Amino acid sequence: MGLDSIIGRVVLGVGTDIVEVARIRDAHGRHGERFLHRLYTDGELAYCQKQRDPHPFLAARFAAKEAASKAFGTGIARGFGWKTFSVTHDEHGAPVAVLDEAGEKLLAERGATSLLVSLSHTTSLGHAVVLLVK
């Protein structure tokens, strides 16, 4: 999203999170597919599992879920679950925030109209920033 499309928007909340890829890799190793299906949507899993090493991509999305919960001010609780927020991509490959019904309700309650998300990862860290905007 370019600066010109952000101008005129009001930031109502911001969240950021960073997670070690090893933490996600270890949890996946311990709990298997059950862990993945508890935290990620089918679309997120399909995208990440297409990658040579899916764990950095999973870590960035885990960080995005935490960051979104912080932007909403709920944490992973009070109407915000692991699949309330997910990440897809636009036609250019940029990350796009997607909310389920509970997330849409929280969005309306906060007086916001959308979420902006930025993801980054290395082989050892996943990071995300989420803005709640109007």
The single residue of 55, 65, 83, 121 carrying the catalytic annotation is: 121
* pLDDT score of 79: 83
* pLDDT score of 78: 77
The single residue of 55, 65, 70, 83 carrying the catalytic annotation is: 70
- Domain residue limits, the chain: 10-133
**Block mean pLDDT (10 aa), the chain, length 134:** 63 96 98 97 97 98 97 90 96 96 95 96 98 95
pTM assigned to the model: 0.92
* pLDDT score of 2: 58
Question: 121 catalytic, yes or no?
Answer: yes
Q: How far is CA 113 from the centre of its chain?
A: 17
Alpha-carbon torsion, ordered 86, 129, 2, 85, to 10 deg: 20
* pLDDT score of 3: 53
**CATH class given for the domain over 10-133:** alpha beta
